[in-house]
Structures are given as structure tokens and as C-alpha cells.
């Protein structure tokens, strides 16, 4: 830390970004509180108007040893974009880095400033029949999506952000304020180490991301949806394999919804209908979505008909019921689960993944652990079966038989993550990344050699560890 007074720091940064670029006091509230975790206190918030201002701020922070936390739309779920409680960190918001959103239609790519949001990006792409097909329940910035390596519900078809990232621009801490362009608008380019990979999925640690070039895709012209009930757990993977074999060119989502998850949404989200009514929601259902970008005039393909015919043949083999539905209605159910779960009580969220061949076995085992060892808790699990991701969320219900107890929550976290990592060869953070919320598990489950390498990487670009809220290379934080 600099020895400067907070007032002196605010004054110096204000001189670099101007009055519009500086927030203090109550204006900082939205930047200090994370979407799910993270509630800190910033020294101030700076909002540089362009990359030159980012460079000036970074240079000044390095010179004076001031810690900065890059922040996009602050929609992350592990507390990585908010300051700690010390009141000594500044938030560097990229929200004004929005000058460029340049579509190269023939290259199917877009070069876009870090502060542009996913929704804005897709609005720019729409007239060209293109989209950036990352689907998730938030509207992050492009910079935030790169820092989180966002996945979402359609990863099985389009990949994550890393798969679609052609080039990246960042402001480094070492050399202080240096602008580094990594990659170009190219699909094939193998010219030494791919440096941009160092800044993908690392939660804003070590550099401020300022611009990205993304591959974009042809917008689908038709889709088909169904909500199906499998005959058994084992049938789920058989169904997925049959679907990939028979209609794999089109599979864009294969989402598992537990009965508890559907029920929570149906009970608590207004205007949401039980698609199985008058029957109750089943123990488990799968939302299948197919998408085709091709023209029916040439293919003659009717996706919904193809899906229906496929499901007909699966009846009594892998499925016992199917709702062929309005896609919007079925997705609304899927996207309402989190809201429904929150209405029940305090969620304890697990964003985990396992090899998808193990996913049903994992969910069964994890539910059994909760029932046996934490019987006062309520499991509301749902997930992206096809990519192995599970939101194994557990609710401490408002009407639970025991009052909320942080030690029990901690014990549950330790127990479930240990199962995922040690027993099922999985990941304790599938798509939300690592932030202060879960960095203890990073330190627990990263081998000493990997930790040493991560430490070395961090030292290369940010030797004093001034940028970001997670230090991937340090000794374990308590």
C-alpha cells in the first residue's frame, strides 16, 4: 500500500479519469456488492473512458502499490469482481469501454470493447443473421465473459468463450500499463505460445482486459424443444447417446431438472405453469433443444417433427413421458429454478462438473450424502447433462428443522467438493470460475507443482499481485 491518504489516491485517480470517471461514497454501492457473493468496500471506483485511461490508471496503481479489482457488469457468482472489506482496493470498471463493436461479416467475427454487454453485442450481430451463442441467466460484459470463460446452457454445441476467442487485448501490470495485443482475427494461427490463454478463465487476475475478437455464428432458423421423463437414471445417458447419434448435428441443450427443482419454480414463480399438469412434476426431467441454422428450402428438415419421431422410438426404451412444448415456456421453467429455490430459503450453491458418463451416479451419490448426513437440508439440483456440469444446489429452507448454521454449511461444502474432486474426477468450479468465495478449494485441490507454475505465471504479468481479487499462486488463504 502506498502511504498516500485515501483522499490523495482519489484525487490522483480523478485527475486521470475525470469527474465522470470517478465514483465515491454511496455511488459505489452497486460496484461493492457481488451478484451472489462478495460484499466489500472500495476506496473508489474508476471508470476509464478508453484504453489510454486504463493504461494511465494501471501505471499509477503499480507505481503507488494500489490494488485494483477489474469489474465488468459485476454478474459473476464467486465474488471475483468486488473489492475486499479493507477499503483500500479500487474497482476498475470497464463499463465505459464501449467504443468499438466492429462486425466482419465475411470473417464471421467481431472485435469488441470489453465493456460491451452480451445483449448489446447480440443486438449488433442480429441484422447480419449472426449471434454470439453463449446462453446464461445474466447479461455480462465481454471482458467479464473472457475472465470467467463463460459456458452456459449451449456449450455442447458452441463451446465456451475460450473456444470462440480469436484475439484479446489486455493492459498488463508488468510492464506497468503496457498494452498487449494477443492474437488476430484468425482461426488458424500457431505462432508460439498462445499468450491470450493466460487471461481466459482467471477471474480478472493479473491484467485488465480491454478488447476481444470473437468468432460468431449463424443464427438458427428453426429449433425444437421437448421436456422428457426418463425411465431411469441409466436411461438418461442412453438417451443422450442416442440423441447425439441420431440428431447430434442439431443438439444445443440437454438440461437435467430434478423434481425438487421444477417444484420450487412451479410453486414460487408467478405465472409459471406445471407442464405436466394435472400430473405432478416427475422426479426428473430433461429439457432437450435442437437448433438448425440451415434453410428448410434445401434440407426439407422439420426439426420438431424429427425430434418427435425420435422420441416416439425412445418410448419405453429410455423415456416414459414427453411434453412437446412451446420452447419459451419450457425454457422459462428451466430459467426460473434459481428464483424458485431462493424463495425456499438460503441456497448453498455447487457449480460442479464430472465426466458426463458419471453425472447421474454423482447426483445420486450426492443426494444420498445430503439425506444421510444433512437431513435438514433440501436438494434442488439441475444441470447441463451433456457437458457434465451440475448445479447441485442445496437449500437451507426457511422452515428447516434446524436454524441456519455456518459451520454445517462449511461441512457440506467440504463434503460435496471432496466427492466431486476425489471420487468422481470432477471439478469444484465448472463454469463460475474461482473467486474469493471458493479460492480455499483452489488451494486445497491444486497440486504443489501446478500451484508453483501458477505463481510463476502471475509474477510474470503482475509481480506485486495488485490486479484482481484472487491470487492463484499464493500460499493457501485461510
Q: Quote the least distance from Cβ 366 to its own copies, whole Å.
A: 16
Give the DSSP per-residue string, 181-228. EE--S-S---SS--GGGGGSSSTT-SEEEEEEEEE-EEPPSEEEEEEE
Give CA–CA dist 313/307, Å, rounded.
Answer: 10
Give CA–CA dist 162/156, Å, rounded.
Answer: 13
* Residue 46 or 51 having the CB closest to its own copies: 51
Give CA–CA dist 327/223, Å, rounded.
Answer: 8
* Residue 374 or 382 having the CB closest to its own copies: 382
Closest CA relative to residue 82, chosen from 28, 144, 32, 145? 32
* Residue 79 or 201 having the CB closest to its own copies: 201
Q: Quote the least distance from Cβ 257 to its own copies, whole Å.
A: 18
Three-state SS for 170?
strand
* Residue 163 or 273 having the CB closest to its own copies: 163
Contact 242, 224 (CB under 8 A): no
Q: Quote the least distance from Cβ 126 to its own copies, whole Å.
A: 14
Q: Quote the least distance from Cβ 392 to its own copies, whole Å.
A: 13
Closest CA relative to residue 147, chosen from 81, 101, 89, 97? 81
* Residue 32 or 351 having the CB closest to its own copies: 351
Give CA–CA dist 174/153, Å, rounded.
Answer: 36
Q: Quote the least distance from Cβ 370 to its own copies, whole Å.
A: 22
* Residue 269 or 361 having the CB closest to its own copies: 361
Chain-centre distance for alpha carbon 30: 20
Give CA–CA dist 156/158, Å, rounded.
Answer: 6
Half-sphere exposure of 30 (CA within 13 A, CB side): 8
Give CA–CA dist 450/453, Å, rounded.
Answer: 5
Contact 289, 223 (CB under 8 A): yes
Give CA–CA dist 236/423, Å, rounded.
Answer: 21
Closest CA relative to residue 279, chosen from 249, 222, 321, 310? 321
Give CA–CA dist 56/53, Å, rounded.
Answer: 5
Q: Quote the least distance from Cβ 403 to its own copies, whole Å.
A: 33
* Residue 92 or 430 having the CB closest to its own copies: 430
* Residue 33 or 238 having the CB closest to its own copies: 238
Q: Quote the least distance from Cβ 469 to its own copies, whole Å.
A: 13
Contact 296, 303 (CB under 8 A): no
**Which residues are CB-contacts of 422 (< 8 A; sequence separation ≥ 6)?**
none
Give CA–CA dist 439/79, Å, rounded.
Answer: 10
Length of the chain in residues, anyone?
Answer: 478
Q: Quote the least distance from Cβ 475 to its own copies, whole Å.
A: 14
Three-state SS for 304?
helix
* Residue 60 or 362 having the CB closest to its own copies: 362
Contact 84, 43 (CB under 8 A): no
* Residue 100 or 185 having the CB closest to its own copies: 185
* Residue 96 or 196 having the CB closest to its own copies: 196
Contact 187, 215 (CB under 8 A): yes
* Residue 217 or 397 having the CB closest to its own copies: 217
Closest CA relative to residue 185, chosen from 292, 130, 241, 110? 110
Amino acid at each position: 500500500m502506498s502511504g498516500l491518504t485515501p483522499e490523495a489516491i482519489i484525487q490522483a485517480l480523478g485527475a486521470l479519469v475525470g469527474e465522470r470517471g470517478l465514483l465515491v461514497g454511496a455511488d459505489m454501492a452497486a460496484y461493492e456488492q457481488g451478484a451472489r457473493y462478495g460484499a466489500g468496500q472500495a476506496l473508489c471506483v474508476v471508470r476509464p473512458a478508453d484504453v489510454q485511461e486504463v493504461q494511465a490508471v494501471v501505471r499509477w496503481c503499480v507505481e503507488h502499490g494500489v490494488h485494483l479489482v477489474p469489474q465488468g457488469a459485476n454478474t459473476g457468482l464467486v465474488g471475483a469482481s468486488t473489492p475486499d472489506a479493507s477499503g483500500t482496493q479500487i474497482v476498475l470498471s470497464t463499463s465505459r469501454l464501449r467504443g468499438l463493436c466492429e462486425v466482419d461479416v465475411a470473417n464471421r467475427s467481431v472485435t469488441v470493447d470489453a465493456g460491451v454487454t452480451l445483449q448489446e453485442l447480440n443486438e449488433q450481430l442480429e441484422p447480419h443473421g449472426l449471434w454470439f451463442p453463449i446462453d446464461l441467466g445474466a447479461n455480462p460484459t465481454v471482458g467479464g465473459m473472457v475472465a470467467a470463460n463463460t459456458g452456459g446452457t449451449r456449450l455442447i454445441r458452441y463451446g465456451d468463450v475460450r473456444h470462440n476467442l480469436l484475439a484479446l487485448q489486455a493492459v498488463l501490470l508488468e510492464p506497468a500499463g503496457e498494452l498487449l495485443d494477443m492474437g488476430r482475427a484468425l482461426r488458424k494461427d500457431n505462432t508460439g505460445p498462445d499468450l491470450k490463454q493466460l487471461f481466459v478463465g482467471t477471474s480478472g487476475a493479473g491484467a485488465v482486459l480491454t478488447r476481444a475478437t470473437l468468432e460468431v455464428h449463424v443464427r438458427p432458423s428453426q429449433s425444437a424443444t421437448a421436456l422428457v421423463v426418463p425411465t431411469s437414471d441409466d436411461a438418461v445417458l442412453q438417451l443422450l447417446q442416442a440423441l447425439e447419434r441420431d440428431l447430434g448435428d442439431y443438439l444445443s441443450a440437454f438440461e437435467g431438472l430434478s423434481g425438487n427443482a421444477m417444484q420450487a419454480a412451479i410453486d414460487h414463480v408467478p405465472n409459471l405453469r406445471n407442464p405436466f399438469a394435472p400430473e405432478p412434476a416427475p422426479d426428473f426431467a430433461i429439457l432437450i433443444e435442437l437448433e438448425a441454422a440451415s434453410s428448410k428450402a434445401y434440407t426439407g428438415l422439420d426439426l420438431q417433427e424429427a425430434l418427435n419421431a425420435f422420441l416416439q422410438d425412445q418410448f419405453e426404451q429410455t423415456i416414459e413421458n414427453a411434453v412437446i412444448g412451446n420452447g419459451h415456456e419450457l425454457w422459462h421453467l428451466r430459467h426460473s429454478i434459481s428464483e424458485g429455490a431462493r424463495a425456499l430459503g438460503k441456497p448453498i450453491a455447487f457449480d460442479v462438473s464430472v465426466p458426463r458418463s458419471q453425472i447421474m451416479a454423482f447426483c445420486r451419490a450426492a443426494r444420498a450424502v445430503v439425506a444421510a448426513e444433512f437431513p435438514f437440508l433440501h436438494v434442488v439440483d439441475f444441470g447441463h447433462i451433456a457437458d457434465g456440469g451440475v448445479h447441485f444446489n442445496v437449500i437451507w429452507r426457511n422452515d428447516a428443522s434446524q436454524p441456519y448454521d455456518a459451520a454445517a454449511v462449511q461441512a457440506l461444502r467440504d463434503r460435496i467438493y471432496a466427492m466431486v474432486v476425489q471420487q468422481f474426477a470432477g471439478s469444484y468450479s465448472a463454469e463460475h470460475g474461482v473467486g474469493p468465495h471458493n479460492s480455499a478449494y483452489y488451494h486445497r485441490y491444486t497440486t504443489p507443482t501446478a500451484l508453483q507454475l501458477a505463481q510463476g505465471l502471475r509474477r510474470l504479468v503482475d509481480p506485486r499481485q495488485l490486479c484482481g481479487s484472487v491470487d492463484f499462486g499464493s500460499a493457501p488463504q485461510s
